[in-house]
Chains A and B, each alone.
Chain A
Amino acid sequence: MNSFSLRLIVFFLGVVVFAFCFAAESRIFAQEDTYIQELRGHCEGFIKENNFTQLFDYLDSLAQDHVKPEYIFYQKYYSVKGKSLYLDYLEMNEDWAQFYEQLHVFDNQIIETAEIYVNTYPLNGQVIDLQYLLWRAYLREEGQETTEIAFGKLVDMVIFYTQENNDIAKFKEIVELISREKSGDFLAQMFAEYRDYLENEDTDPSLISQFAGIADSYLDDGNSEVASLIYNQYVEIICKRFSVQDAYLKLKIIADKFRHYGFFSAKDPGLAELIYEKIKGLIGNESLKEEDVLARGYNFECEGNYAKADEEYRAFAENFKENRFLPEIYTRLGIINLYYLGNQEQSLNYFKTVAEKYPDSFYESFCLYRIGLILQWKKEFESADEFYARIKNDDPQIKQLAEKRRDEIKNNLEIAQESLYPLELLYKQNKSPSIILTLKSIPARCLINQQVEWIASAQDYSVGTVQPFFAYQWFGDTGTNTDIGSVTKFTASYASSGPKLVFFSAGNAAGEEVVCGELWVYDIGVISPAQGQIFKVNELVLFEAGLLPLSPEDGIFQWSWKVFLEGEEILSSHARTFNFSFDKQGKYTVEIELKVEDSRISKTIAFEVIE
């Protein structure tokens, strides 16, 4: 055999040996995967069925000796996970006897096992899970220091893992688990540390938008608490990582999600206010838009922070001198100053501003009446009568009240108790410092004929739980409910739009206090077409509606138009305003529906198209 043949044989032998070794190693690798896969499959199956006894028996049956470390790791992982989930299961099913019997035993075992692996095993998703389960065990065992240390380590692990994998999935998973614990403080801590990481210029910007995406998903699921915690951090990141203009736009969008609108509960007005403050710092007072100032002012007003609301509304009046919302703002300033800030003279000025500068506005009658009432109370009868006389017939209820007041002046009578008494109580000397009254309507803004609930409370904070007896009275515009009695809540609806003021008093032998509540009622105001208006065939018809009175919160309303000709629907639209021309003559009707949250009202207008 020549040397070449020998070398060839050796070569082929080498290939065969190599192939054999490779195959053997592949088989071993496949066996490892199979073992872990099988173990996972069994364990996850038992967990899914809440079959914890079988899970523990299965794990106990597995070999512990002469087994690869990664197999042991997974056994221990499922042992820890199983025990923690079993405690959760018992808690969820309120099996307290069993829960408390196992609690400390299992927690000690979880802690003992997890501590080993989180400190020795290379970081992966399962190690993070173990750290999470370890934290929960410490939390249940109420070791404050150990809990804090464990949580800090969990956060570090999650952030590092996110960074290394450039993937937020694990972060999201852990957030979801912690949010189920309703551990707001821990979540806040986690988000704050994650923010530090995202603020870093080197961090991928896509992680920032993913972070906001997590917040949005919680908001969509109705969990505004967690969303709010995330956004609290996100707004800080926006200010650092985006241009002023981009940051401003993003901040507005978030503030709008959380602020008061009045028609439904605000999600987190405190967060909204924090954002308004940031916007102000970002772009300066001069650059604030009308909707920013109005939103902030209304936010303060709904929160009962009337001094701040007053400040915002005055700033609005100062900076937007030609704005269409000024009649409303001055009316609000009048109400706030008269009924909340105890500033009668200032309120008079605001009401007079509406009466003099905006004589045909929606609020004219309301303001004229208040001017008259204040002047009559001050015994300036002649002036009072002049203002009452100016009230037009457009608001029959106010007109009727004004006529009563004029009769009183004419006949030298005192103002009727139900109208004067709330003012006297609001302005009396020696108010009780310990009696706190609250009054609100739910919602704070509504549509006409919508059911509203007025809820009040009275508490004397000086006497603890054994509260003194109170007799309650209601004054003011209580809508359809005119016979209320000594109760702390009632429901009503209102057939006319505009501001409605209600007063709640609570009194006993020691004295009486009063509080004012306001409700703003809205109707559909159809600008075009007018009732009975006539158009020509093919003439462009403007369809436009709005709220009456005006409201800056356009975005939350849904409009719906349906146009009928002889009972047949021929056109529909969801715009607030649009144009259309009709090629057929006839008598048309249009139904306009306004919807906000679950409330809706509608109006029908008839018009004609002729040749």
Chain B
Amino acid sequence: MKKGFMGIAIFIFCLSLSGCGKGEAKLKEEKHKDVYLRTLENGHYELIVKEKPFVIKGICYAPVPIGKSHLFNFTCDPNKPWMVDGKLMNEMGVNTVRLYQPGDELAACKEMIEDLYKNYGIYTVMGHSLGFWEYHVNELAKKIKEIDPNHPVSLGNGETVGMEFAADICPDVDLLGCIVYRGKVFGSFFKEVKRKFDKPVMITEFGCDAYNAFAQKEDQLNQAKFLKSQWLDLEKHLANGEGLGNCVGGIIFEWNDEWWKTSDCDRDSWLVHDTEASWGVGAYAFDAQAGKNMNEEWFGVVAFSPELENNLNKRMPRKAYYELRELWNKDFWKQDEESSAEKKGN
């Protein structure tokens, strides 16, 4: 979880789709729009993109290199990490990345978003922390829609804390985005959302770290197991699934490990893959005995190596990457087999 987003911080972001046409986004079926939310006859919700149901298979993206901190503006990185990551993401079946903020160089950020979409078909969810402005959520939602009526506006929240109040005072918010870390499954989360804030929800952060705080070693197996279990549970609550149908997808935290997270002030520590955990969740049972077991520097489905490849930290996909690929890009192995067969034939 990103620093500054602990507890009940509230923020707003838009689902930003490059190349989409204009129109108002409302919680109705409106066939002339490229992106909108639809309520089905059974009361389930769907996100529609270019006239097709779209399930958000997303991943939080911040490719901060080893030795740098969150202040590093990766959108300006001349090595264009998103071109390397985009390919891997595409193979994995990722269709959305989440950026926590655009950074200072808006043009560079826009270029990155365009590159991801044009080369890999990946959309972007753009967010920003409100801070003081959390008291004016609905006003901001309305303002965003004045500027950009083409896309749904989402309220980002930590868990479902305060949702019953938000339901009354934020009628112009189209969907809910929640950060949820409840272990292998989401438990009563979707039911709580339905009860407290009956609008579509996307889980804007969920995941599992790859470090076993109890055994004190990397644990790719449990990370993969947990992510798979979380996704399968989320899937049940998509439209026409066996659950409540109020989920439009989820965004995994996160694409890569971030080595700066233990101490954003200590430069030396950015070069070390720290194993300290600053908070704990008992539901991550495999290392709950350690007490604090959420190892912030180890949440990546892709590990970074200090070894460089094309001036970027070498990407080392973990087991979780492949397990998610099995879920999100089911036929990838067939493509792989066909291309191997073709190569053999040649």
Contact = CB atoms under 8 A, between A and B. Distances in A.
**Do the two shown chains form a genuine complex with each other?**
yes
Interface of A: 94, 96-97, 99-101, 103-105, 455, 457, 459, 463-466, 488-489
B160 interface: yes
Interface string B167-207: 00000000000011110000101001000000000000000
A101 B333 contact: yes
A465 B159 contact: yes
A126 to B, nearest CB: 29
B220 interface: yes
B160 A105 contact: no
Interface of B: 7-8, 158-161, 179-182, 187, 189, 192, 220, 281-283, 291, 317-319, 321-322, 325-326, 333-334, 336-337
Instruction: Return the 9 tightest CB-CB contacts between A and B, nearest first.
Output: A464-B159, A100-B322, A466-B159, A465-B181, A466-B158, A104-B333, A96-B322, A96-B319, A466-B161
A213 to B, nearest CB: 31
Contacts of B160: 463-464
Nearest to B180: A465
A136 B283 CA distance: 29
Contact of A96 (B8, B283, B321, B336): B321
A101 B336 contact: yes
Between A96, A101, A459, A488, the greatest number of chain B beta carbons within 10 A of the residue's beta carbon is seen for: A96
Contacts, number: 51
Given A97-B317, A105-B333, A464 B326 contact: no
A556 to B, nearest CB: 24
Contacts of B319: 94, 96
A105 B341 CA distance: 12
A104 B189 CA distance: 34
Given A100-B325, A464-B192, 5 more contacts: A97-B322, A101-B336, A103-B333, A457-B282, A466-B159
A105 B291 CA distance: 42
A488 B220 CA distance: 29
Contacts of A464: 159-161, 180, 182, 187, 189, 192
A101 B332 CA distance: 9
29 contacts: A96-B220, A96-B317, A96-B318, A96-B322, A97-B317, A97-B322, A99-B322, A100-B325, A100-B333, A104-B334, A104-B337, A105-B337, A455-B291, A459-B282, A463-B159, A464-B159, A464-B160, A464-B161, A464-B187, A464-B189, A464-B192, A465-B159, A465-B182, A465-B281, A465-B283, A466-B158, A466-B161, A488-B291, A489-B291
Contacts of B192: 464
Contacts of B334: 104
Nearest to A101: B336
Contacts of B181: 465
A180 to B, nearest CB: 14
Q: Is the interface of A mostly helix, strand, loop or mixed?
A: mixed
Contacts of B321: 96
Nearest to A464: B159
Contacts of B220: 94, 96
A99 B224 CA distance: 14
Nearest to B160: A464
B255 to A, nearest CB: 16
Contacts of B291: 455, 488-489
A491 to B, nearest CB: 13
Contacts of B326: 100
Contacts of B283: 465
Contacts of A459: 282
Contacts of A94: 220, 319
Nearest to A463: B161
Contacts of A463: 159-161
Nearest to A99: B322
Contacts of B336: 101
A99 B187 CA distance: 32
A101 B326 CA distance: 11
Contacts of B159: 463-466
A96 B7 CA distance: 35
A465 B182 CA distance: 6
B8 A466 contact: yes
Nearest to B178: A464
Nearest to A142: B326
Nearest to B157: A466
Between A101, A459, A466, the greatest number of chain B beta carbons within 10 A of the residue's beta carbon is seen for: A466
A234 B291 CA distance: 37
Between A96, A463, A464, the greatest number of chain B beta carbons within 10 A of the residue's beta carbon is seen for: A464
A298 to B, nearest CB: 23
A308 B159 CA distance: 37
Contacts of A465: 159, 180-182, 281, 283
Contact of B7 (A99, A100, A466): A466
Contacts of B7: 466
Contacts of B187: 464
A275 B245 CA distance: 45
B119 to A, nearest CB: 22
B299 to A, nearest CB: 15
Contacts of A466: 7-8, 158-159, 161, 179
A105 B181 CA distance: 35
Contacts of A488: 291
A89 to B, nearest CB: 15
A8 B119 CA distance: 96
Nearest to B220: A94
A97 B281 CA distance: 31
Nearest to B6: A466
B131 to A, nearest CB: 18
B12 to A, nearest CB: 18
A464 B187 CA distance: 9
A168 to B, nearest CB: 32
Nearest to B292: A488
Nearest to A103: B333
Between A101, A103, A457, A465, the greatest number of chain B beta carbons within 10 A of the residue's beta carbon is seen for: A465
Nearest to B182: A465
A192 to B, nearest CB: 26
Contacts of A99: 322
A171 B262 CA distance: 50
Contacts of A455: 291
A254 B334 CA distance: 51
A322 to B, nearest CB: 43
A489 B290 CA distance: 11
Contacts of A105: 333, 337
A342 to B, nearest CB: 26
A101 B325 CA distance: 12
Nearest to B9: A466
A103 B179 CA distance: 33
A328 to B, nearest CB: 31
B128 to A, nearest CB: 20
Between A100, A103, A104, the greatest number of chain B beta carbons within 10 A of the residue's beta carbon is seen for: A100
A133 B187 CA distance: 35
A459 B282 CA distance: 9
